[in-house]
Homo-oligomer: A and B are copies of this chain.
Amino acid sequence: MRTGIATVCLSGTLKEKMQACATAGFDGIEIFEQDLVTSSLGPEEIRAMAADLGLHLDLYQPFRDFDSVPEELLAANLRRAEAKFRLMSRLGMDTILVCSNVATASIDDDDLRAAQLSRLASLAGEHGVKVAYEALAWGRYVNDYEHAHRLVERVDHPNLGTCLDSFHILSRDWDTAPIEALNPDKIFFVQVADAPKLSMDVLSWSRHYRVFPGEGQFKLAKFMGHVVRAGYSGPVSLEVFNDVFRQSDVERTAVDAMRSLIWLEEQSAQWLDAHYSVDEAGEAAEAVSEAAGRRRHPMELATLPRVAEPAGFNFAEVRAADPGALETLLGQLGFAFNGRHRTKNVQLWTMGHARVIINEEAPAAAETAISAIGFDVDSPVVAAARAQQLKAPAVPRKSQANEEIFQGFAAPDSTEVFLCQGSPDGTAAWVDEFGTPGGPGSGAGSQAAGAPQALIDHVNLAQPWQHFDEAVLFYTSALALEPQPYAEVASPTGLVRSQVMTTRDRGVRLVLNLAPLLQQEGGPEAAPPGAAPRRTYQEHIAFAVNDLVATARAARNRGLEFLRIPANYYEDLDARFDLDPAFLSTLRELNLLYDRDADGEFLHFYTATVGSVFFEMVERRGSYDGYGAPNAPVRHAVQYDHLHQLKLTA
């Protein structure tokens, strides 16, 4: 598949955009007119730079408001077009995007439109230019790709074709199956964009909220499947208007964009496999080759190393320059100290299959924070190869002979993600590398009396606002996690946006939180002079146990500092759920939180925070599949209050 991207997707100058696109590995780019007009590089310089960078200049865009106009305006439009055709010749470009008219269309007449497009095609032909006519979703008269294609077929000029843009088609819910019936010789260009399903006017949606494939909710693999079956073999090019991407680091965004196309290519191939049985596939292949007879190269879809979804969490790692407070907390929760690693400055703590590594290899000033997550996968080598092909940045770990080598990658929020060999019984072979004494008092191998079996239920990571969508695609593509419906939680410093990513069997649950801006970037509330750190958001690891009440009692007996839940909460809980008084009193006594829905019940509690990390213990009853979302505002408020008290006394 030939990959492309429109320069409007990225931040920076045209030069910076082109360099980033080349570095990310795109085959070509679309030149967005505004990027050219505002550039200090002349057309010949741009052409030369593209050649040096190995970038094909696929498409010049947009040319607006051409068709469906009175004759005198048409003359001006043709003059305007010719100026652009001359410019394109200096750029060495041969295809221009012409959008259906929005602003100046005044005559709704397909005969007239065809005649006008025919004159444009003739003019383009004289300049060696091909016109790709696109139906904008909000075009005045032409807003449906089939209508645009009918006009093109009717004009039947070798210099006039259509451009198919997934946003303009899927935002209007047009059926994509008829794409297969389009004449592939008349499809001059294909643009792809994803988007979250938003109920707003389609123009605002398009101009601000498009995302890269895999970051939204459009059925793009199906769209691309139909495009492939139509016999199209040209560039598949990203055109994504997004307020955040326009502000983000250009090189990272270009890599994120490239990852989305690599992933889309694989998904499209899988969609084709899944939707055409052997016989049908035979037929389909025939259809394609028939179309391909008219084109030279039918589109080839590259595939990636395939992985199953991870079976679970292998471990979570917290980095701490001074591990004392963490050791105390884990010990009080009932974790056993399993000793230090034989060559690295790390400790292992376990409760059942829940493994927590304390990594002391941190700069002295570093805040205690979640630094890494290990996932159980079938084959770490294959999974790592896949991640690498998806351009995940590798983070190699030093290992001695005979030690397990983890394949690792940096997630968009810079958490390190490790791919570990899963085992059917939930154990991990590398645990044997630990056992060197020298840790806290309890001694190697010991486990607090009566410690329950446990596993990591979920990990909750705070995401920088510039990299939230990137993170969704990273976990979707590299780890086969699936985004769940999105939630918002009120906190004293603003709404926290929460995106749960899970495997289908819920063996892995990852929560990506988008903290309010002031928590991320600092500001008057977040950073009083010389006091608290700029980043005041918190992250956590949640462990599931079978008997939360017993776990909480044992932890209390060991002196655990619970996050203290306000009395008002329990009154409201009672008003909502009409709980058994004895049960309610247990909840209140132990600072437990409670939720219930049609599927089951959820009990949980939180610990105090160390650095930016705290822990949660949960018990799922029945088929409860949530995270106690109604209780999250309570947690945020109490944590805020606590932080605030710390500041006032600091």
Contact = CB atoms under 8 A, between A and B. Distances in A.
Given A200-B200, A524-B249, A568 B42 contact: yes
Given A13-B492, A578-B79, A38 B638 contact: yes
A576 B76 CA distance: 9
A611 interface: no
A53 to B, nearest CB: 19
Contact of A566 (B40, B516, B569, B634): B40
Interface string A1-16: 0000000000111001
B492 A39 contact: no
A34 B633 contact: yes
A466 interface: yes
Contacts of A574: 83
Contacts of A12: 492-493, 525, 640
A56 interface: no
A204 B636 CA distance: 22
Contacts of A492: 11-13, 16
Interface in A11-52: 11-13, 16, 33-34, 36-43
Given A493-B11, A566-B40, A517 B516 contact: no
A364 interface: no
B525 A249 contact: yes
Contacts of A243: 494-495
Interface string A573-616: 01110100000000000000000000000000000000000000
Given A247-B494, A494-B11, A494-B246, A37 B634 contact: yes
Interface string A480-518: 000000000010111100000000000000000000111
Contacts of A43: 568
Contact of A640 (B13, B494, B566): B13
On chain A, which size bracket covers the interface?
35 or more
B578 A37 contact: no
A179 to B, nearest CB: 29
Nearest to A82: B575
Contact of A247 (B249, B517, B569, B575): B517
Interface string A290-316: 000000000000000000000000000
A641 B41 CA distance: 11
A644 interface: yes
A262 B154 CA distance: 64
Nearest to A14: B637
22 contacts: A12-B492, A37-B572, A38-B636, A38-B638, A39-B568, A39-B637, A40-B641, A41-B568, A79-B575, A79-B578, A80-B576, A83-B571, A87-B571, A199-B204, A200-B200, A208-B495, A246-B495, A246-B516, A248-B518, A249-B524, A465-B517, A466-B518
4 residue pairs, one from A and one from B, having the closest CB atoms: A38-B637, A83-B575, A200-B200, A247-B494
